[in-house]
Amino acid sequence: MNMLERLGSTSQPGGWRRERGEAALADVHGTVAVPKRPGLWRVLAFIGPGYLVATGYMDPGNWATSLAGGSRFGYALLTVALLSNMIAILLQALCSRLGVASGRDLAQACRDSFPRPVALVLWLLAEAAICATDLAEVIGTAIGLNLLFGIPLELGVVITALDVFLILWLQKLGFRWVEALIITLLGVIALCFGIQIALADPDWGQVIRGFAPTTQIVSDPDMLYLALGILGATVMPHNLYLHSAIVQTRRHDPSESGIREAIRYATLDSTVALMFALTINASILILAAASFHHGGVGEVADLGKAHELLNPLLGSALAPSLFAIALICCGLNSTVTATIAGQAVMEGFINLKIAPWLRRLITRGIAIVPAAAVTVAYGESGAGALLILSQVVLSLQLPFAVVPLVMFTADRRKMGVHVAPRWQTVLAALAAALIIALNMKLVYDFVTGA
């Protein structure tokens, strides 16, 4: 039996340039016990990480594109939201497989596979993506505080820095408490949109038809552009690093069969959670279509304008308040996950450990400075432009996270018997190529002003 055959016949992956170092997110690694006896509690033990990942698929950037798409083209772009979600499910499944089977998160896998200079470049790009993500959450939360409580944007940007204390407190209680907060806030978001959609009373026949593909998306340049925006803003680079790290919080059976089971349940967790995220994103688009498109308002991409118009259109003062509450919950959720992703990236790429509160303040400080400066100088319109810029930065970084993920999970030398099935690798490669192409077009259009 040759070396490749021996690697393929064992559950212990090899083929890495460096030996595996300290576990990902060592302070919470393996802290959630998985019951040994089969049953419901064993399945429930794996539920949680997928919902942290799902928060990245409903950030303020997604809100802006969904609002614009629904208000301008009605329900037609629901099919794009569905396609984006299917791609997300596929890539996040690979993250689960990498984390569980190799014992490495994506950052550690890059460090252990590529030469040091390459790993350092990838680290810098990942840090830029996390700062851009945090910038979007700062702006989104500040806009939500302004809409709900009338707090000036400048002050709202500063207030968002206080979330560091909430995160540190929850992490001390245990990782399950972090997951509980995320799931609770997601429930509040779902409730808010459920009530708003009930008030909007959409045409459900048109909603269902909106999920069917149409050639108009390709033939209409304006619709195509918004479709590209929805696709381009869907997969966040930090989510790939995050998911491959937090699936390792589960302390499961380390045998080959135990690893297979852990991969299966982790994939199920993320799939269900991302279908929930699709429900939220579709709700935003449906609300915009029912309220603005069919209400004759036209395109609405500004969060503040959407909030302002909901009251007269739906005839209830409750609707705009629910919109702002959902936006704040979304911002809080995303800042929690961005913090954990930042920790995984820094520790995974350069094995540098700093106090969580210091890491949080550094990341949030980098996001707050430009956000505060722009909101002071240009107000809400400037904040909106900065939000768009943050999405462009994410688009630039995305290929440097997606391509290594597909490479690693397709490599039998690295993954052993848990290598991704061929069909999954082919679909992921095609999805990655599509995302990269669409993001490159978005960046090109942004630079050229097309």
CA separation for the pair 438, 444 (Å, rounded): 10
Does a structural domain hold residue 2?
Answer: no
What residues contact residue 405 under an 8 Å CB cut-off, 6+ apart? Answer: 91, 94, 95, 98, 106, 240, 244, 428
Which CATH number does the domain housing residue 81 bear?
Answer: 1.10.4160.10
Does a structural domain hold residue 209?
Answer: yes
CA-wise closest residue to 238 among 420, 120, 107, 354: 107
Q: Which residues of 276-303 are buried (b: 16+ CB within 10 A; e: fewer)?
A: bbbbbbbbbbbbbbbbbbbbebebbbbb
Q: Which residue has the tokens 């996270």?
A: 401
pLDDT of residue 444: 73
In terms of C-beta density within 10 A (0-12 exposed, 13-18 middle, 19 or more buried), how is residue 340 classed?
buried
What residues contact residue 401 under an 8 Å CB cut-off, 6+ apart? Answer: 106, 126, 129, 237, 240, 241
CA separation for the pair 443, 329 (Å, rounded): 29
The domain of 157 spans 19-448
Does a structural domain hold residue 436?
Answer: yes
CA separation for the pair 349, 79 (Å, rounded): 37
pLDDT of residue 7: 35
Residue 137 and residue 54 in contact, taking contact as beta carbons nearer than 8 Å:
no
pLDDT of residue 51: 93
Residue 203 and residue 403 in contact, taking contact as beta carbons nearer than 8 Å:
no
Q: What domain count does the chain have?
A: 1
Does a structural domain hold residue 5?
Answer: no
Amino acid of residue 2: N
CA-wise closest residue to 185 among 311, 69, 95, 59: 59
CA separation for the pair 306, 107 (Å, rounded): 38
pLDDT of residue 3: 33
Residue 136 and residue 60 in contact, taking contact as beta carbons nearer than 8 Å:
yes
CA-wise closest residue to 27 among 126, 138, 173, 145: 173
Amino acid of residue 284: I
Tokens matching residue 26: 């060592």
DSSP 265-302: HHHHHHHHHHHHHHHHHHHHHHHHIIIIITTT------
pLDDT of residue 335: 77
Does a structural domain hold residue 98?
Answer: yes
pLDDT of residue 68: 81
Regions of the chain where pLDDT drops below 50: 1-12
pLDDT of residue 14: 62
Does the reported pTM lie above 0.75?
yes
Does a structural domain hold residue 12?
Answer: no
pLDDT of residue 102: 92
CA separation for the pair 434, 90 (Å, rounded): 13
What are the residue ranges of helices labelled H in 19-77? 40-44, 49-54, 60-73
Does a structural domain hold residue 35?
Answer: yes
The pairs formed by 290-298 with CB atoms below 8 angstroms and a separation of 24 or more are 290/197, 290/200, 290/201, 290/202, 290/203, 291/71, 291/200, 292/67, 292/70, 292/71, 293/70, 293/71, 293/72, 293/73, 293/74, 294/74, 294/203, 297/71, 298/71, 298/72
Does a structural domain hold residue 9?
Answer: no
pLDDT of residue 363: 62
Tokens matching residue 201: 């009373």
CA separation for the pair 155, 159 (Å, rounded): 6
Amino acid of residue 319: A
Amino acid of residue 332: L
